[in-house]
């Protein structure tokens, strides 16, 4: 199994900006990533506010690193990023409420 973890540190009151972006909306069918071969699950975690900051962690599980790479290179995934670039006239700026963002990938060994 292959796991991708994204971690955002945000200014207080902005965790829902990330959660809303990646959460399923009521009545929606499966998202494009959920329909992807090799996708297992996605979880969103939120840590309570501390010192004016909030933390959101997204954990995405895949059957394999190859399944994840296939998603990253898929036309659907690339089109989503192109749409964001087009909407912002170039690379979207990091929102001011994002203090930091980390992306890590892991292979499950046990």
pLDDT (tens digit per residue) in 53-100: 999 999 999 999 999 999 999 998 888 766 666 666 666 678 899 999
Distance CA 46, CA 54 (A): 7
Its CATH class, for the domain covering 2-107, is alpha beta
DSSP 107: E
Distance CA 44, CA 48 (A): 13
pLDDT of residue 85: 60
pLDDT of residue 87: 65
pLDDT surpassing 70 at residue 15? yes
For the chain, the structural domain boundaries read 2-107
pLDDT (tens digit per residue) in 20-49: 988 877 788 888 899 999 999 999 999 877
pLDDT of residue 7: 97
pTM confidence score = 0.84
């Amino acid at each position: 199994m292959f796991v991708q973890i994204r971690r955002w540190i945000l200014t207080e009151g902005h965790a829902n900006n990330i959660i809303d972006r990646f959460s399923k909306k009521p009545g929606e069918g499966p998202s494009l990533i959920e329909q992807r071969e090799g996708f297992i699950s996605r979880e969103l975690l939120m840590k309570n506010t501390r010192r004016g900051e909030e933390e959101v962690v997204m954990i995405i599980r895949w059957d394999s690193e190859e399944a994840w790479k296939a998603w990253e290179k898929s036309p659907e995934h690339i089109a989503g990023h192109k749409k964001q670039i087009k909407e912002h006239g170039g690379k979207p700026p990091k929102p001011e409420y994002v203090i930091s963002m980390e992306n890590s990938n892991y292979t499950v060994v046990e």
